[in-house]
Amino acid sequence: MIIMGMAAIPQRFRNFDETIPILADQCDKLYIHISGTDNYPKILDNYSNIEYTINTELMGSQYKYKMSTKYSNSYFLTCDDDLLYPEDYVSTMIESLKQHENKAIVCVYANKWNPHNTNKPTIHQIYGAYHLNQSIGIDTRILWPGMGTGIHHTSSFSFSPEECRHSGMADIYVMVKAAKLGIPIYTIKRKHNWIKQLDEGGFATWANQPHKKIDEYVDENRLYLKKTFNEISLIEMSA
């Protein structure tokens, strides 16, 4: 089966008329966790393969994984509420994952980051990114994924919101878990502007993340992250 998960906030409901038809047409089930409101976009009622939950408290991005552990032997894709995905999003992501024998995590956006640098806060150590609008010629091994554009196969990787001790840190927790398990992460080969940024609704997700908690969690797991980074560096040098 092909399962999708999304965490959504009301500031971005205006994007749903564009995004929902494209996503719903590419999956067996699309689960949307809405937080920060007691309302929902009525377009969701038009699709029998969409289920949603509502929480008036503002929750974190980790709730896009709410149903990821409920399915065995399935493809699970994560989506954001401020991105416009292409009509070949699912087929392309699955094809990439199959090339890695379904034993990897594949994403689009990714940060460039060196865990050996400890002289400043984690977010200020990011020295670049594989951007959504950037073309990439081959699948490229990375350390820090952007999980608003991700896929894994549930037979080889699992993740649930309960694994996040702090809200708004799903990317970090996925990165650390993958490093501990030795599961590689790749940013996918793609053409320019394959995924497009939509209205963020005045809500900057990154600015609302608990940066001090990110630093603490990274420090706890830095040895795993350094090991993975070193592996990636060796691959890059031998290419």
Whether the pLDDT of residue 207 is over 60: the answer is: no
Domain residue ranges in the chain: 2-238
How far the first Cα of the chain sits from its last, in Å, is 35
CATH annotation of 2-238: 3.90.550.10
Q: Give per-residue pLDDT as tens, 16-30.
A: 999 999 999 999 999
pLDDT value at position 231? 94
pTM of the model as a whole: 0.93
According to DSSP, the β-strands at 149-153 and 75-80 are antiparallel
Instruction: Indicate the range of 1-15, 166-180, 196-210 predicted with least confidence.
Output: 196-210
CA distances from 191 to 82, 134, 199 (A): 20, 7, 22
